Structure 1
Amino acid sequence: MIRRGESADIPVILDFWAVAGENASRPADDAALVENLLRRDPDSLLVAERDGAVVGTVIAGWDGWRAHLYRLAVAPDTRGQGVGRRLVEAAEARLRALGAVRFDAMVLTENALGAAAWSALGYRPQDDWARWVKPA
């Protein structure tokens, strides 16, 4: 089952990301930031559940102009069973309904598993762009 994430899910989601997410080279996850995300866009966090346990997540961010997908994570013992594909399809449908004409997926350069998953879903690196970041 895929559903929207709720504030009550945040501790479980943070624990899930610690095990299933790629956590190198990025700021640590924080409950207050996830709460802010849900307050601003309550439908942005999609959660896959199986037998009441979280087995996957993706954030489908929409700023009114661009559609961003990130924090795609699937439980290690559930990978290869289509959970990630169903999450991304649900995220794309949500974003398309909001007006998105293109999606981008944020994937760490060294995340070979993530790159393979996004590639299998039809995403490709965009060679003419680089993401520049600055801590807030």
Structure 2
Amino acid sequence: MSALRIRTAEPADATDVLAFWKEAAEGTSVSDDEAGVSGLIARDPGALLLAETGDGLLVGSVIAGYDGWRCSLYRLAVLPSHRRRGVATALLEAAEERFTALGGRRGDAMVLEANERAQRAWSAAGYRREDHWRRWVKPLAERS
């Protein structure tokens, strides 16, 4: 996809990103609201990467968060009409470049267990499942 542009999200993108995720992403998160997306952008301005076509259509996203210890990848999503055109590859390359520039050593991706399409995409990008880990969570806030 030659006219693809990867950029970091800005605070004004929060509403569009949430609408995009409803169409393109699998699953939901407790942080799927304007406060969550805006908070991410404020806390780590380079973390939310967006892919746009030449005419500005949002076609992909990935959160590439780095806390100084771990390189964490979330919300790799591509608009269904633009899948299999290199959007995810371009987003992951941008995320990996970000991590390398920050001194990161390994990218970790959160992938839904039931999302076989995503598992195939991550595998094709060189990521491998680690069966000896399990995610443990505790909600800190009720979703309203």
TM-score, normalized by the shorter chain, greater than 0.5:
yes
Matched ranges for 1:62-77 at <5 A: 62-77=66-81
Pair 1:55-2:59 in alignment: yes
Structure 2 contact 76–88 (Cα < 8 Å) conserved: yes
Gaps of 5+ in 2: none
What is the count of residue pairs matched by the alignment?
135
Select 2:117's aligned residue among 92, 107, 113.
113
One-letter amino acid of the counterpart of residue 72, structure 1: L
Deviation at 1:23, TM superposition (A): 1.5
Counterpart for residue 37 of structure 2: 34
CA distance in 2, matches of 1:28, 1:78: 25
Deviation at 1:28, TM superposition (A): 5.9
Deviation at 1:113, TM superposition (A): 1.2
Structure 2 contact 11–41 (Cα < 8 Å) conserved: yes
Counterpart for residue 17 of structure 2: 13
CA distance in 1, matches of 2:58, 2:46: 17
CA distance in 2, matches of 1:41, 1:4: 10
Select 1:44's aligned residue among 47, 65, 71.
47
One-letter amino acid of the counterpart of residue 34, structure 1: V
Deviation at 1:27, TM superposition (A): 2.9
Gaps of 5+ in 1: none
One-letter amino acid of the counterpart of residue 15, structure 1: A
CA RMSD of aligned residues (A): 1.0
TM-score relative to the length of structure 2? 0.91
Deviation at 1:131, TM superposition (A): 0.9
Runs of 4+ residues over 4 Å off in structure 1: none
Counterpart for residue 129 of structure 1: 133
CA distance in 2, matches of 1:66, 1:28: 20
Give % identity: 55
Select 2:93's aligned residue among 89, 92, 110.
89
CA distance in 2, matches of 1:27, 1:109: 18
